[in-house]
Amino acid sequence: MTSQLLLTDITQAFQEHEILLTGANGFLGKVVLALILDRFPDFKHLHILQRPARNLSAQERFHTETLASPALEPIARKAGKVALREKITVWRGDVSRPGCGIAPADLEGLTARIGLIINCAGRVDFFPPVDDSFNANVDGVEHVAAVAKTLGAKLLHVSTCYVCGEADGLVEETEPILGFYPRRQGSDDASFCHKREIGYCRERIRQIYNSAGSKRFAPSGAPVNGTDQQGDRRSAEVAQRLVALGRQRALHWGWVNTYTYAKSLGEQILAAEEGLDWAIVRPAIVESALEFPFPGWIEGGRTAAPLVLMALGGLKDWPMRKDTPLEVVPVDLAASAILVVAALLLGGQHERVYQLGTADVNPILLESLVTVLDAESRKRRRNNGKHSASPGLLERFLEARRVRFVSADEARARRVAFENRIDRAQALIAGLRKLLAATRLPGAQSLAGWSTSLRALGLQAAFREQTLNQYLPFVLHNRYIFESENIRAAYALISEKEKELLPWSPERIDWRTYWVNNQIEGIEKWVQPEAVKGWTFRL
């Protein structure tokens, strides 16, 4: 049996089976697609599900946004336009719609052609309006599963390790999926039913929209992409109520945010599905590339981007547990693991759940991470100071302080005390400016600059606290270590050559080098400032 399993051939699997990929325009999806094109150029055929944009067809959007992205453009150019046109078919569609929005005639034509669907589509914001999260992460799973059954295809679904919700310690891969909720009291606890919860939440969504005058809804009972079927945009009040509903339902059961709540519901939909062969891959926090398509590739406001930027900006008081590891997985390792599982699923040699964590073999503790980021911040300020005749108030203030690990309450108290000191200083400066104006003495302009700097410090302190509150479940309230035995066992079933093509090697990561050279440089180069302004948190 072992010798037979060792003959698993990923190249052959992709040569023999057509694959449908959803979410190819996302951060992880782009790298999955890039790996297939680069490492397995003889693949049989790829089908891409793509939503059109306002002024772009699905095909145009795929070529101008996906293939033209920095992650894919050199690889697509190497493959050649003719090969891409012959071996990739783009289908207009949307997982939030029945049939994934694919025309019935097209679905019929694809029946028995596609061997596997890789579902990378999903909404990854922590606290979006709950209907948006449901569209992608709940309705989307229902629709993709239905399409897979219609086509006679197997389904690899990308979820997240954080479906575990509140946890402290090792999170095992063997936890039953159906009936799970984070506060479950043993296997006999039948308090949670995903069908009942989904029905309840959909009804509440309908009531919220009805109360605002929207009467018509999609078949799932929820508006699609923030509008009702009449195309009316929801009001800010409705959006706020939907955000609050998702937060309330998640926290009620023990999930830490709407995203992980919805992703767990999606998993349970899949686990309850009969007549479908499936596997779930759960990455931890997906961050910048280790090596492929090039070191540091990152896109969008990933989870670590605000963390890195706050550290570089001089944040000193961190509400964190020193001994807590941050479960980060480079995007290329996650994408490689997905393709290995895809081949095993096609060959019938798969497990149900694969967690992709790093802390079980190579943890980076938050104390070490913050120390690295603070050292880089100080280094940059010193280098900037060499080119400045007189360092500013902010630079001198930050250089004098040292990193402290504090409780959430202590961080808040220190922020309030800090703001009080700033208020007193502002009052003193205002008084001095009046005095200088009355006596016509020089210095008023310098005082105005001090006042602006102090005001900026106060705003930063309040904004950082608001931002860090989003992180508390991951760095203070819970301590996550994700068991990742199944993916290591999967790699034992493939050849050494294919291990090199699709590496999974978290134990070899030098975390200091990765955070300085890949994360910091990648975030500064590839994460657009407007993507970070709203501090969107993504896993």
CA distance 539 to 522: 17
388 pLDDT higher than 80? no
Q: Residue 56 forms beta bridges with which residues?
A: 53
If DSSP codes are grouped into helix, strand and coil, which group holds residue 60?
Answer: helix
In terms of phi and psi (left: phi > 0; alpha: psi -120 to 50; beta: otherwise), the region of 495 is: beta
Contact call for residues 107 and 150 (beta carbons, < 8 A): yes
Q: Residue 169 forms beta bridges with which residues?
A: 480
Least confident of 120-124, 161-165, 448-452: 448-452
Contact call for residues 243 and 133 (beta carbons, < 8 A): no
Q: What is the pLDDT of residues 334-367, one digit of tens each?
A: 999 999 999 999 999 999 999 999 999 999 999 9
As given in the structure block, the two tokens for residue 46 are: 């790829």
User: What is the value of pTM for the model shown?
Assistant: 0.89
251 pLDDT higher than 80? yes
CA distance 495 to 270: 30
9 pLDDT higher than 50? yes
Question: How far is CA 454 from each of CA 20, 311, 425, 449, rounded to the nearest angstrom?
Answer: 54, 19, 8, 9
457 pLDDT higher than 90? no
Distance of CA 274 to the CA centre of its chain: 29
Give the 3-state DSSP-derived string for 70-84, with helices as H, strands as E and coil as C: CCCHHHHHHHCHHHH
The pLDDT value given to residue 307: 85
Which residue from 19, 3, 4 is spatially nearest to 341, judged by alpha carbons? 19
Q: Residue 70 forms beta bridges with which residues?
A: none
CA distance 417 to 414: 5
* Helix-, strand-, coil-residue percentages of the chain, each rounded to 5: 55, 10, 35
Q: What is the pLDDT of residues 204-231, one digit of tens each?
A: 999 999 998 865 454 455 555 555 444 4
The pLDDT value given to residue 230: 43
Sign of CA dihedral 288, 100, 132, 270: negative
The pLDDT value given to residue 316: 86
CA distance 181 to 71: 37
Q: What angle do CA 334, 336, 337 make, to 5 degrees?
A: 65
CA distance 476 to 469: 10
Q: Residue 302 forms beta bridges with which residues?
A: none
Sign of CA dihedral 80, 83, 89, 95: negative
- Tokens 């694919």 sit on residue: 102
Q: What is the pLDDT of residues 493-510, one digit of tens each?
A: 999 999 999 999 999 999
Which residue from 264, 134, 279 is spatially nearest to 205, judged by alpha carbons? 134
389 pLDDT higher than 50? no
CA distance 281 to 72: 23
Sign of CA dihedral 63, 69, 72, 73: positive
Contact call for residues 321 and 476 (beta carbons, < 8 A): yes
Q: What is the pLDDT of residues 148-194, one digit of tens each?
A: 999 999 999 999 999 999 999 999 999 999 999 999 998 899 999 99
Radius of gyration over every alpha carbon of the chain, rounded to an integer in angstroms:
25
Q: What is the pLDDT of residues 60-72, one digit of tens each?
A: 999 999 999 999 9
Q: What angle do CA 23, 527, 120 make, to 5 degrees?
A: 15
Contact call for residues 32 and 21 (beta carbons, < 8 A): yes
Percentage of residues of the chain with pLDDT beyond 90: 68
The pLDDT value given to residue 530: 42
As given in the structure block, the two tokens for residue 413 are: 């108290």
- Tokens 């705003």 sit on residue: 459
331-346 helix and 27-39 helix, angle to the nearest 10 degrees: 60
5 pLDDT higher than 70? no
Q: Rounded mean pLDDT of the chain?
A: 87
- Tokens 């497990």 sit on residue: 351
Domains and CATH numbers, the chain: 2-190+256-284+327-360+483-508 (3.40.50.720)
